[in-house]
A and B are shown apart, each in its own frame.
Chain A
């Protein structure tokens, strides 16, 4: 089987640069994405016609702003308005103005919409009061006149010292003592990862528009319309009909617009309610970075028993996640983290202990990967260190341990289908020329050592300027929600043939640049025998679309896509049945004219034979898994420790590729986000405040920092979904960072066990006695 891209004719210049490659396990390449539709929202975005929240005009709207705490922890004694200022032309909202519950609807409901007087400020930049005015200048003048009287309380910043536990899990399988008793080697390691900011292009933004009936409509940038809907009902005491949420064009989310928009929507709505007019709550970048959620920092400890041939015998894993000041989605993030922490490897004796605690930093929340990138960085780096200890190739160690069909995971889940771990590993090792390049980098290292001048004196880095390195990592990502999440939610998606003969998809799943509005018409039209452009997407407005669940967990194509395919099949059957079995495409216009609208509402049905026990953490944690492997090459500057990531081969099994170019885009974007996580993305804190809360100081890779990315897509379909898709959004985020860190080690011989692997950390490790960055083994 070939794993190379298909040769392209040299004569005809192709519009698309690289060949997307799709490989079915054991099959042949499917080639390029010719004939697939362009992104549906693309032209409006390119021409500037797309309306993001800040582009929406509501006559008479005021501007809103948030007054935030400047302490990590304090008692709020009073909120004082400067008596010398004129407050008559503005509205100020405090917790006392909240008609319903002063709680943001979430898992634990511990987070106030605004800190009440007498209550506790729990983090820097926490919302305490709100102000709205006809113009921003008035806000700027008056906000300085709102004074928070507080009494400082001692903050907690170390998640291991916190005594408030948000969530705790233990997963057990086999017997650790048996595993460690049989070990030829025991390898221990501690790994740390910091915050990461989602850094969507469009900042958070919400506009609340009060209705005549006491209702409230909110327009904004968001991933999950029904989360916001629920929050409005709870805090404003509205009925389902009185609350309405409309998604504006959304410029990226990455999880950062999963739970936080509820708070902004509530703030805008409280101001709008008091002002009796629309209020615009548009964050600037500084506020967005300072106040909204980040990826959870974590400390992960591994103790692993290995046989002489590299077979894993036991894994003892401890995870501590820093939840920040409020619970948000932390229990679910932690749960996914725990379930992925052993990596995609067979191991008979496993114990995973995970806990997430409260600290006095802004709350952490959803971010692409959702707990998995943290733990997979740890286990992959640990595995690479085991390979080093055993003198085995990292590829060979993985080959000996990666899951195969029929293996059992730590929760006792038997992998009955759709297991492509060995396949993605093989493809990545081949396409990345892993073994060949690894011997070349080893030769380069030997030559540097042989030159006899490394390191000669503290400031001499020797003859060579840079050191090349290559690294490998693999990973898995549970498809869709963890455990019984999908069953609890019971999503509904609809496909409708309207009275005037249009076919519409009605879902609350949002487009935020990833391609929802492009792939749904593709999936539905395929079932109906229509061209994709014949299928419309209904506007994402809770007054129109059913609750198809949040746009998270890489579940949109897999779960909601599956529902729409089923709905389309039912629609087709129904229409064809009343038209003498003639094809839908031929009869649907006449059918609509004769019979009026036909709408199919498809509700999620549990996947057959998938069963998870949320209390014992045993059973099928996910209906299926996506599998990925990644080979990265780097050059490390020997003078400065700067890392240039040169080339990344990313192999991802997504079950079924729906739109090759968009799918490749997800892999490239996720991989680059992982490269940023690995090398430069870092939040620095002082007394619980983010120090680098601006684009000038929170840096992500630019186009010049992006490696050459090569994507190989693998299809190992999941039988529970009609199309076999397992999702692609998060999987690539899980594997890039450990591959880059392994490449840095290959280049310069030090293990960086704390992300990001900054030049500061690399030089410190190189300069210290060798291996000081490594925990004692």
Chain B
């Protein structure tokens, strides 16, 4: 293993910003992604690193201005234990519970999952489905980027090299329901073959769905929203016909690939089937 890269340990966000302004630094939060790369075997080793562990500004879960705000350093274990999250973002709690196993959940963070930008990142479809905003900042100031626009390409993010993810804001929406489903090879320590989050709002049992979001991971180069499936569900009620139409629309719009974990055909079919199941469960037929 190569020598450990030098590491900066700022104690204030402003200090972190000026360090980042001074040249490229690779942030480390829980380290569960970055430490896999540290051997140099899987690509270049970071030359200098920025430890986020002292930055209190990146911590905490709270309700602010009509949204649930989660610090970037929130771990999966914290998420699972948070009553606020369980109440306002149960699908995110469900996603957190499927990540790795206990050790990874103790260290891995939401900010890390986002910045790592893996197409298989399990929280990402939930963030997309819930219209989350990613709040980022640097020495030039702070800004908000919608989750749906945060992943421009394969393993790319909207972050500038001198920016950090600060927090994630999930707007609270009355009557919103979000469902999550992950399909992996085994029941723990599995990277998704397909991961899906679906959310909608319904005002009363007989009303149609509005603000429908269908978001998926592991079926494209980035986490995506499925526009055709969303259109098939928008304004409709969760009937068998709607479920069929949405599933078919989803299957038509997805072009997943074969890789070491699964096949494109399987991903397409299973994505459609779990969407069908989610609609069916909602319809109660």
Interface residues, chain A, CB within 8 Å of chain B?
136-137, 140, 286, 457-461, 465, 639-642, 644, 680, 684, 691-692, 696-697, 699, 701-705, 759-760, 763-764, 767
- Who on chain B is nearest to A700 by CB? B186
Asked whether, in the complex, the Cβ of A457 is within 8 Å of the Cβ of B269, the reply is no
Asked whether, in the complex, the Cβ of B260 is within 8 Å of the Cβ of A705, the reply is no
Asked whether, in the complex, the Cβ of A458 is within 8 Å of the Cβ of B186, the reply is no
Asked whether, in the complex, the Cβ of A137 is within 8 Å of the Cβ of B2, the reply is yes
Name, among B186, B243, B262, the residue most crowded by chain A CB atoms within 10 Å (CB to CB): B186
Which residues of chain A are within 8 angstroms of B244 by Cβ–Cβ distance?
457, 459-460
- Who on chain B is nearest to A684 by CB? B260
Asked whether, in the complex, the Cβ of A759 is within 8 Å of the Cβ of B248, the reply is no
- Who on chain B is nearest to A767 by CB? B269
Q: How many A-B residue pairs have CB under 8 A?
A: 83
Which residues of chain B are within 8 angstroms of A697 by Cβ–Cβ distance?
260-261
Asked whether, in the complex, the Cβ of A701 is within 8 Å of the Cβ of B186, the reply is yes
Asked whether, in the complex, the Cβ of A136 is within 8 Å of the Cβ of B277, the reply is no
Instruction: Give CA–CA (A440, B248) in the complex, Å.
Output: 34
Which residues of chain A are within 8 angstroms of B186 by Cβ–Cβ distance?
680, 699, 701-702, 704-705
Asked whether, in the complex, the Cβ of A459 is within 8 Å of the Cβ of B272, the reply is yes
Which residues of chain B are within 8 angstroms of A286 by Cβ–Cβ distance?
41
Name, among A459, A639, A699, A702, the residue most crowded by chain B CB atoms within 10 Å (CB to CB): A459
- Who on chain A is nearest to B36 by CB? A696
What 10 A-B pairs are tightest by C-beta distance, nearest first? A459-B247, A459-B272, A704-B187, A639-B273, A760-B266, A702-B188, A704-B188, A692-B260, A691-B260, A705-B186
Decide: A763 near B190, CB < 8 A? Known: A459-B248, A460-B247, A691-B260: no
Instruction: Give CA–CA (A701, B189) in the complex, Å.
Output: 10
Restricting to B235-273, which residues have a CB under 8 Å from any CB of A?
Answer: 243-244, 247-248, 251, 260-263, 265-266, 269-270, 272-273
Q: How far is the CB of A232 from chain B (nearest CB, A)?
A: 30
Decide: A642 near B183, CB < 8 A? Known: A684-B260, A767-B269: yes
Decide: A137 near B185, CB < 8 A? Known: A461-B277, A697-B261: no
Beyond A137-B3, A639-B277, 9 additional contacts (C-beta under 8 Å) are A137-B2, A459-B272, A461-B273, A640-B183, A640-B273, A641-B266, A703-B188, A763-B266, A764-B265
Which residues of chain A are within 8 angstroms of B173 by Cβ–Cβ distance?
none
Q: How far is the CB of A285 from chain B (nearest CB, A)?
A: 11
Is B179 part of the contact surface with A, judged by Cβ < 8 Å? no
Instruction: Give CA–CA (A644, B40) in the complex, Å.
Output: 37
Q: Which of A459, A642, A680, A701 contacts B269 (CB 8 A)?
A: A459
Instruction: Give CA–CA (A507, B191) in the complex, Å.
Output: 45
A-B contact pairs, 15 of them (CB 8 A): A136-B1, A286-B41, A457-B248, A458-B248, A459-B251, A465-B277, A641-B266, A642-B183, A696-B191, A699-B186, A699-B189, A759-B270, A760-B265, A763-B269, A763-B270
Q: Which of B2, B101, B260, B270 contacts A640 (CB 8 A)?
A: B270
Q: Which of A140, A465, A692 contacts B2 (CB 8 A)?
A: A140
Is B63 part of the contact surface with A, judged by Cβ < 8 Å? no
Is B88 part of the contact surface with A, judged by Cβ < 8 Å? no
Instruction: Give CA–CA (A640, B194) in the complex, Å.
Output: 10
Is B276 part of the contact surface with A, judged by Cβ < 8 Å? yes
Which residues of chain B are within 8 angstroms of A764 by Cβ–Cβ distance?
265-266
Is B159 part of the contact surface with A, judged by Cβ < 8 Å? no
Restricting to B175-228, which residues have a CB under 8 Å from any CB of A?
Answer: 183, 185-191
- Who on chain B is nearest to A642 by CB? B183
Q: How far is the CB of A282 from chain B (nearest CB, A)?
A: 12
Chain B 62-104 per-residue mask, 1 if CB under 8 angstroms from chain A, else 0:
0000000000000000000000000000000000000001000
Q: How far is the CB of B267 from chain A (nearest CB, A)?
A: 9
Instruction: Give CA–CA (A696, B187) in the complex, Å.
Output: 14
Which residues of chain B are within 8 angstroms of A767 by Cβ–Cβ distance?
269
Interface residues, chain B, CB within 8 Å of chain A?
1-3, 40-41, 101, 183, 185-191, 243-244, 247-248, 251, 260-263, 265-266, 269-270, 272-277
Which residues of chain A are within 8 angstroms of B276 by Cβ–Cβ distance?
459-461, 639
Instruction: Give CA–CA (A704, B97) in the complex, Å.
Output: 13
Q: How far is the CB of B130 from chain A (nearest CB, A)?
A: 23
Which residues of chain A are within 8 angstroms of B260 by Cβ–Cβ distance?
684, 691-692, 697
Which residues of chain A are within 8 angstroms of B41 by Cβ–Cβ distance?
286
Instruction: Give CA–CA (A460, B242) in the complex, Å.
Output: 12
Which residues of chain A are within 8 angstroms of B190 by Cβ–Cβ distance?
699
Q: How far is the CB of B19 from chain A (nearest CB, A)?
A: 27
Which residues of chain A are within 8 angstroms of B3 by Cβ–Cβ distance?
137
Q: How far is the CB of A361 from chain B (nearest CB, A)?
A: 16
Asked whether, in the complex, the Cβ of B187 is within 8 Å of the Cβ of A702, the reply is yes
Q: How far is the CB of A773 from chain B (nearest CB, A)?
A: 15
Asked whether, in the complex, the Cβ of A759 is within 8 Å of the Cβ of B247, the reply is no
Instruction: Give CA–CA (A442, B205) in the complex, Å.
Output: 37
Q: How far is the CB of A718 from chain B (nearest CB, A)?
A: 38
Instruction: Give CA–CA (A642, B185) in the complex, Å.
Output: 8
Instruction: Give CA–CA (A704, B273) in the complex, Å.
Output: 24
Name, among B1, B248, B269, the residue most crowded by chain A CB atoms within 10 Å (CB to CB): B269
Q: How far is the CB of A628 from chain B (nearest CB, A)?
A: 25
Instruction: Give CA–CA (A676, B160) in the complex, Å.
Output: 44
Instruction: Give CA–CA (A764, B277) in the complex, Å.
Output: 19
Q: How far is the CB of B173 from chain A (nearest CB, A)?
A: 28
Instruction: Give CA–CA (A759, B188) in the complex, Å.
Output: 16
Q: How far is the CB of A703 from chain B (nearest CB, A)?
A: 8
Name, among A458, A641, A701, A767, the residue most crowded by chain B CB atoms within 10 Å (CB to CB): A458
Instruction: Give CA–CA (A702, B188) in the complex, Å.
Output: 7
Q: Which of B243, B262, B273, B277 contacts A760 (CB 8 A)?
A: B262
- Who on chain B is nearest to A461 by CB? B273
Which residues of chain B are within 8 angstroms of A460 by Cβ–Cβ distance?
243-244, 247, 273, 276
Instruction: Give CA–CA (A457, B277) in the complex, Å.
Output: 13
Instruction: Give CA–CA (A746, B29) in the complex, Å.
Output: 48
Instruction: Give CA–CA (A697, B277) in the complex, Å.
Output: 28
Instruction: Give CA–CA (A654, B212) in the complex, Å.
Output: 60
Which residues of chain B are within 8 angstroms of A763 by Cβ–Cβ distance?
266, 269-270
Q: How far is the CB of A595 from chain B (nearest CB, A)?
A: 56
Asked whether, in the complex, the Cβ of A140 is within 8 Å of the Cβ of B40, the reply is yes
Decide: A699 near B262, CB < 8 A? Known: A459-B269, A465-B277, A640-B270: no
Q: Which of A136, A458, A759 contacts B251 (CB 8 A)?
A: A458
Instruction: Give CA–CA (A137, B45) in the complex, Å.
Output: 13
Which residues of chain A are within 8 angstroms of B272 by Cβ–Cβ distance?
458-459
Which residues of chain A are within 8 angstroms of B187 by Cβ–Cβ distance?
644, 702, 704-705
Which residues of chain A are within 8 angstroms of B248 by Cβ–Cβ distance?
457-459
Which residues of chain B are within 8 angstroms of A465 by Cβ–Cβ distance?
277
Q: How far is the CB of B245 from chain A (nearest CB, A)?
A: 10
- Who on chain A is nearest to B189 by CB? A702
Instruction: Give CA–CA (A703, B263) in the complex, Å.
Output: 26
- Who on chain B is nearest to A137 by CB? B2
Which residues of chain A are within 8 angstroms of B185 by Cβ–Cβ distance?
680, 699
Name, among B41, B187, B243, B272, the residue most crowded by chain A CB atoms within 10 Å (CB to CB): B187
Which residues of chain A are within 8 angstroms of B265 by Cβ–Cβ distance?
760, 764
Q: Which of A684, A704, A759 contacts B266 (CB 8 A)?
A: A759
Instruction: Give CA–CA (A458, B183) in the complex, Å.
Output: 19
Q: How far is the CB of B108 from chain A (nearest CB, A)?
A: 14
Instruction: Give CA–CA (A16, B187) in the complex, Å.
Output: 26
Instruction: Give CA–CA (A691, B262) in the complex, Å.
Output: 12
Instruction: Give CA–CA (A704, B101) in the complex, Å.
Output: 10
Instruction: Give CA–CA (A691, B189) in the complex, Å.
Output: 19
Q: How far is the CB of B65 from chain A (nearest CB, A)?
A: 39
Which residues of chain A are within 8 angstroms of B2 by Cβ–Cβ distance?
137, 140
Name, among A639, A684, A701, the residue most crowded by chain B CB atoms within 10 Å (CB to CB): A639
Instruction: Give CA–CA (A692, B258) in the complex, Å.
Output: 13
Q: How far is the CB of B10 from chain A (nearest CB, A)?
A: 28
- Who on chain A is nearest to B267 by CB? A760
Instruction: Give CA–CA (A748, B101) in the complex, Å.
Output: 30
Instruction: Give CA–CA (A697, B40) in the complex, Å.
Output: 18
- Who on chain B is nearest to A762 by CB? B266
Q: How far is the CB of B189 from chain A (nearest CB, A)?
A: 6
Q: How far is the CB of B229 from chain A (nearest CB, A)?
A: 11
Q: How far is the CB of B225 from chain A (nearest CB, A)?
A: 19
